[in-house]
């Protein structure tokens, strides 16, 4: 046998090192991502609900099919509301109005407050529309489906109570 057949080529050695380094880097990235996902509590489960988050237990208590149907109902209601009363540029219009006020000289705190108040009023109107859709949807459920929903909601509330206890410690 010749000496060439016995000794590995330098290019093959470098190729193996490059593949090993690539695999190590990929595993490191996967580890970081998995660690972030598995070790960080979900944003909506880290503590007590804040602001308008109170609706989450109600929506989580629906089964998957019910959530899809409720979502379709909500989208339909929001589209109808938007057609009846356009929101002056929609969600982004409120932010753009605030940007205009922030860039104006001299700064007008009352105008900034009015921009935030207008955004809050739109959010409250949207929340009220969502509540109406939720109420109508639950009212349309047959009694046995409504009782099953209540049981799942109770489980969500119990889980929330456990999280509150952990949060308070």
Choices 1.20.120, 2.30.30, 1.10.3470, 2.60.40: CATH for 51-168:
1.20.120
Is 156 in contact with 61 (CB distance < 8 Å)? yes
pLDDT on residue 40 = 47
pLDDT on residue 143 = 96
**What whole-number distance in Å separates Cα of residue 14 and Cα of residue 122?**
62
pLDDT on residue 43 = 44
Q: Where are the domains of the chain?
A: 3-40, 51-168
**Per-residue pLDDT tens listing for the chain (169 residues):** 555 555 556 667 777 766 666 655 555 555 555 554 445 444 444 555 555 566 788 888 899 999 899 888 888 887 876 666 555 556 688 889 999 999 999 999 999 999 999 988 888 888 888 899 999 999 999 999 999 999 999 999 998 888 878 767 6
pLDDT on residue 41 = 47
**What whole-number distance in Å separates Cα of residue 159 and Cα of residue 31?**
29
CA dihedral 54, 58, 61, 65 (to 10 degrees): -130
Residue owning tokens 């009352």: 110
pLDDT on residue 45 = 46
CA–chain centroid gap for 69, Å, is 19
Per DSSP, the residues of 93-160 read HHHHHHHHHHHSSS--HHHHHHHHHHHHHHHHHHHHHHHHHHHHHHHHS-HHHHHHHHHHHHHHHHHH
pLDDT on residue 89 = 59
pLDDT on residue 13 = 75
Has this prediction a pTM greater than 0.75? no
């Amino acid at each position: 046998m010749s000496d060439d057949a016995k000794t590995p080529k330098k290019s093959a050695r470098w190729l193996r090192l490059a593949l090993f380094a690539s695999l190590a880097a990929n595993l490191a990235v996967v580890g970081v991502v998995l660690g972030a996902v598995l070790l960080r509590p979900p944003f909506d489960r880290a503590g007590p609900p804040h602001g308008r988050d109170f609706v989450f237990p109600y929506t989580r208590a629906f089964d998957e099919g019910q959530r899809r149907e409720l979502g379709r109902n909500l989208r339909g209601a929001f589209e109808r509301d938007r057609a009846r009363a356009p929101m002056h540029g929609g969600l982004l219009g409120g932010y753009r109005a605030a940007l205009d006020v922030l860039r104006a000289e001299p700064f007008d705190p009352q105008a900034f407050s009015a921009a935030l108040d207008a955004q809050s009023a739109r959010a409250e109107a949207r929340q009220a529309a969502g509540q109406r859709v939720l109420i109508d949807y639950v009212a349309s459920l047959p009694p046995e489906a409504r009782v099953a929903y209540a049981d799942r909601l109770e489980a969500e509330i119990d889980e929330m109570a456990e999280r509150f206890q952990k949060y308070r410690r």
